[in-house]
Structures are given as structure tokens and as C-alpha cells.
A and B are shown apart, each in its own frame.
Chain A
């Protein structure tokens, strides 16, 4: 598709007919103010929340073709605007008074969306929680954690210090953080890319056949717990850390005949579990890499 067509179709047209609503205002000194908006949608909606303040974002699904945005804001020093253009719903918070203290800039959101919904959520602190949603999602936080349960799609999570807990997730997952930890539990993911500089990584679950799994931590622990039925090729390398292989009886020399050249500067472990259908790459700079078989 031509770029010009994309620009015309995806950017300009949805703007036409957009509605712009402002939540009512009350004196700044008032207690937390509650807000709620309902948006009817036709297809798979795209919900965008950009929270410049602090606060929690919680997303759950239902079977109705409607998006409900409910929430609270701490004061009138922060404004919350919503906009609907077709099936795209934007929720934006902004600071209206530069003297606002951090506690006055808090906005919390609870979303109820159709099961098939795309999400783009940004907040500063506070938990991002998403449950039972199918669709691509980009979730960003500075210091807040991200908890995902039974979600599927192409999931991209970026934090500075926040940690990720992904339980029963499916599809493709990317996580990038400086000090955040990542826990992936009981997944059905076929493409995983986890990066953290000082945080820990735990992958506890099955490796899908033909799946690609790459997990890297600079200083943290990278731990993989696999099952006896798993089938994957393993490549584990650390520059100055250690490789703790607690599954040596399951790990055999590479059955595909691929010759691995271990660097003389790093500690490496190559091998195959089962017939090596999936590909697993683990790496640290100074952290420990641990490979375990689940009981």
C-alpha cells in the first residue's frame, strides 16, 4: 500500500467527525473527582490512554460493543480529555496548573472494553493491569508495574523501573526495561524477547514448537524452567556471570549438527532438549543464567 494512501486513510479520515468531550470541573481543593464515559463501537476498537500524571490503569473485557472509561482524578490541576473518532478512543490527561504537586496529578482509570481490542497505554507510576483482552497492545510506564493475565496478541511492554508479570499470555511478547523484572508464567507465546539491564527474568512454561525465545539481562538472574515434554535448542552465554545448569540430564549435544563457536571471553552452554524444535537464547553480562526442569 502506498504511504499516501495510508496517511489519508488512517490519519486524516478518522479525524473527521471526531467528538471532543471535557469532563466537568470542580474547585481544585475538592476531593478525588469521579468520571465515566461510554463509547459505542462497531469493530475492533483501539483505545489510547496517555496519562501524564500518576495513577493506575485497569482494563477488563466484556462481550458488549461498548468501551467504558471510568476513573478518578485527584484535583482540577489535572485535566482529563476524551475523544472518539470511529472506533478509536483517546483518553489524555494533562497538567493545567504547573504548580501542581505530584499528589494532585494523580488520575486512575478503569476501562471495560470488548474482548478484541487494541490498547496503547502510557502512565508514569501505578499499576497497568490488563485481563482477558485479545489484540495488539503497547504498554509504557516509568515506575509502575505491568500485570497481564490471559491476554494475547503482539504485546510490547516498556518500563524504566517497573516490572512485568505476564500470566497465561499468548502471541508475541517484547519487554524492555532498565531495572524492571520480567516474569512469564504458563505462557502460550511463540515469540518472546525480554531485555532488562539490572532486573531479573523468569520464564516458567512451555516452549511452543518453532517458537523463538530471547532473554537478556545485564546484571540480573535469567531463569528458565521447562517441562520434560519441551523441545528446544539452547544457547546460553554470559560475559562475566555464571551458567547454572540444573538440567544436565535433559540437555544433550546439539542434534542438528550445528557447530557452536564458544567465545574465549564468555562462558557458554549449548545443547538440545528433545528434538530442538524451538530456539532459546539466554544471555547476561554479569548475572547468573539458570536452567531448571519443572517438577
Chain B
């Protein structure tokens, strides 16, 4: 067995008991051995993370849609193994902080891919490349509004500051969106818009975490 073959086995079967062939390769290849040890450690530590806070289902749906859209993964109905891999992935990251980081990474990748796409082909591929991001953030904002309505805690200067900054981010996003509609190929504005979405995702997450910790 070669290193690449072991990698494939590992990707498809995860940490399930390895075959004799795979074990034999591990006994001879220090690089693969260290890789497996490291992944085992990561998974063990991930299981120790608190799992009491679950991100909303739409987060996983949106991430999946984004990954499919980018061609990073195929539609999950195409293969059972892929679905299984995805479920394991979701189980591993059922934590709001990690979910937010993943969301930020997806936004980053989306922004980067847009940035690198030649302007003339951008509009042909996607009429509105930010639509999934916008709907994802809207859903997150809706959850936050519900949480704030249910909250009995008094409003502090910090909450006021967070809300004020959220308003500033929304205004900035609206301004950039208007400009991008007028000039879809303006890369600098698209870059600012992508960063603004990331900032908004992080801000909403911070506001939800704060609401959760104080109520």
C-alpha cells in the first residue's frame, strides 16, 4: 500500500479499524504513522469540547450549499460515503465557536474565489454570488432577535455598542452592495464587501454568545 492509498482509506473510513494492509504500511512509514497519531489526538480533543450549544441547522445547510456551489464537494446524494463523511464532520464541529470559524472560512474561500475569477466570467457563473451568504446571515440575525426578545437581562453599554456597530456594518454592507450592483467587476469593493460579511458573521456570533452567557 502507498501513502496516497492509505490517505484514501482514511478519508473514506475515518478512524474505523484499519485493514492489515494499512496497518503494515503504518508500521513502515513514519510520516503516515505520525499523521494518524495527530488526527487521532485531534478527534479525541474535539470530543472533549462542550457540545451543549448546537448551531442552527441552516448553518450546516448553507455551508454545504456553498461547498457544492464552489465545486469543493459533490452533491451529497451522489454517494453514501460522502454523506457519512459530512455527518462525521458536522458531529466534530458541533460547537458555536468552531461553527463560526468554519462559516468565516467559507466566506473567505467564497470571497477569494470571486476575487480570482476573471471579471468577464463572474456574471456568467453566478448572478448573485453573495445570495447564500446573505440568507445565512439573515437567518442568524433572526435567531439573535428572538434571543434578545426572550432575554430579561438589562441592556448594558456593551450591548448598546454591539448593536451600534452592527448597524454600522449593515450600512456599510448596503453601500458596498449598491456599488457592486453598479460595477460588478470592481474587485476592491467586492473585497471590502466580503470582509464586511465576515465581520458581520463574527459580530452576530459574539452577540449570541454574550446573550447566551448572560441569560
Q: Do A and B come from one complex?
A: yes
Q: Mark A152-184, 1 if CB is under 8 A from B, else 0.
A: 000000001100000000000000001100000
Q: Taking the complex as formed, is A102 at the interface, i.e. its CB lies under 8 A from any CB of chain B?
A: yes
Q: Mark B129-165, 1 if CB is under 8 A from A, else 0.
A: 0000000000000000000000001101110011011
Known: A178-B165, A178-B203, A263-B187. A101 touches B45 (CB 8 A): no
Q: Which residues of A contact B157 (CB under 8 A)?
A: 54, 102, 125, 143
User: Which of A7, A178, A218 lies in contact with B45, CB distance below 8 A?
Assistant: A7
Q: Mark A1-44, 1 if CB is under 8 A from B, else 0.
A: 01110010000000000000000000000000000000000000
Known: A161-B165, A197-B168, A218-B172. A54 touches B183 (CB 8 A): no
Complex CA distance for A187 and B202, rounded to whole angstroms? 30
8 A Cβ contacts from A276-293 to B: 283, 285-286
Q: Taking the complex as formed, is B58 at the interface, i.e. its CB lies under 8 A from any CB of chain A?
A: no
User: Which of B38, B188, B196, B214 lies in contact with A95, CB distance below 8 A?
Assistant: B214
- Judging by beta carbons under 8 Å apart, are B189 and A198 in contact? no
In the complex, what's the smallest C-beta–C-beta distance from B35 to chain A, in angstroms?
10
User: Chain A residue with minimal CB distance to B37?
Assistant: A4
User: Which of A2, A161, A285 lies in contact with B189, CB distance below 8 A?
Assistant: A285
- Judging by beta carbons under 8 Å apart, are A266 and B186 in contact? yes
User: Which of B37, B192, B214, B215 lies in contact with A218, CB distance below 8 A?
Assistant: B192
Complex CA distance for A265 and B180, rounded to whole angstroms? 11
User: Chain A residue with minimal CB distance to B186?
Assistant: A265
Q: Is the interface of B mostly helix, strand, loop or mixed?
A: helix
8 A Cβ contacts from B97-143 to A: none
Residue among B162, B165, B195, B199 with the highest chain A CB neighbour number at 10 A: B165
- Judging by beta carbons under 8 Å apart, are A239 and B192 in contact? yes
8 A Cβ contacts from A97-145 to B: 98, 101-102, 105, 124-125, 142-143
- Judging by beta carbons under 8 Å apart, are B158 and A143 in contact? yes
Q: Which residues of B contact A161 (CB under 8 A)?
A: 161, 164-165
- Judging by beta carbons under 8 Å apart, are A240 and B162 in contact? no
Q: Taking the complex as formed, is A192 at the interface, i.e. its CB lies under 8 A from any CB of chain B?
A: no
Q: Which residues of A contact B185 (CB under 8 A)?
A: 265
User: Chain A residue with minimal CB distance to B213?
Assistant: A52
Complex CA distance for A86 and B44, rounded to whole angstroms? 25
Q: Taking the complex as formed, is A149 at the interface, i.e. its CB lies under 8 A from any CB of chain B?
A: no
Q: Taking the complex as formed, is B175 at the interface, i.e. its CB lies under 8 A from any CB of chain A?
A: yes
- Judging by beta carbons under 8 Å apart, are A237 and B162 in contact? no
- Judging by beta carbons under 8 Å apart, are B179 and A239 in contact? yes
Number of residues on chain A facing chain B (CB within 8 A) = 34
Complex CA distance for A48 and B153, rounded to whole angstroms? 28
- Judging by beta carbons under 8 Å apart, are B41 and A7 in contact? yes
Q: Taking the complex as formed, is A219 at the interface, i.e. its CB lies under 8 A from any CB of chain B?
A: yes
In the complex, what's the smallest C-beta–C-beta distance from A246 to chain B, in angstroms?
23
- Judging by beta carbons under 8 Å apart, are A160 and B189 in contact? no
Q: Taking the complex as formed, is B74 at the interface, i.e. its CB lies under 8 A from any CB of chain A?
A: no
Q: Which residues of B contact A219 (CB under 8 A)?
A: 172
In the complex, what's the smallest C-beta–C-beta distance from A54 to chain B, in angstroms?
7
In the complex, what's the smallest C-beta–C-beta distance from A294 to chain B, in angstroms?
28
Complex CA distance for A197 and B165, rounded to whole angstroms? 10
Q: Which residues of A contact B172 (CB under 8 A)?
A: 197-198, 218-219, 285
In the complex, what's the smallest C-beta–C-beta distance from B188 to chain A, in angstroms?
5
- Judging by beta carbons under 8 Å apart, are B196 and A218 in contact? yes
Q: Which residues of A contact B186 (CB under 8 A)?
A: 239, 263, 265-266
- Judging by beta carbons under 8 Å apart, are A160 and B213 in contact? no
Known: A143-B157, A160-B161. A98 touches B189 (CB 8 A): no
- Judging by beta carbons under 8 Å apart, are B41 and A4 in contact? yes
Q: Which residues of B contact A52 (CB under 8 A)?
A: 213
24 inter-chain pairs at a CB distance below 8 angstroms, sorted by A residue, are A2-B34, A2-B37, A3-B37, A3-B38, A4-B37, A4-B41, A95-B213, A95-B214, A102-B154, A143-B161, A160-B203, A161-B165, A178-B165, A179-B164, A179-B165, A198-B172, A218-B172, A218-B196, A219-B172, A237-B188, A238-B188, A263-B186, A285-B189, A286-B175
Residues of A at the B interface (CB closer than 8 Å) are 2-4, 7, 52, 54, 95, 98, 101-102, 105, 124-125, 142-143, 160-161, 178-179, 195, 197-198, 218-219, 237-240, 263, 265-266, 283, 285-286
Other A-B contacts than A102-B157, A143-B161, 10 sampled, CB-CB below 8 A, are: A4-B41, A52-B213, A54-B158, A98-B153, A161-B161, A161-B164, A178-B199, A197-B195, A240-B179, A263-B186
Please provide the 3 A-B residue pairs with the shortest distance between their CB atoms, ordered closest to farther.
Answer: A102-B156, A143-B161, A265-B186
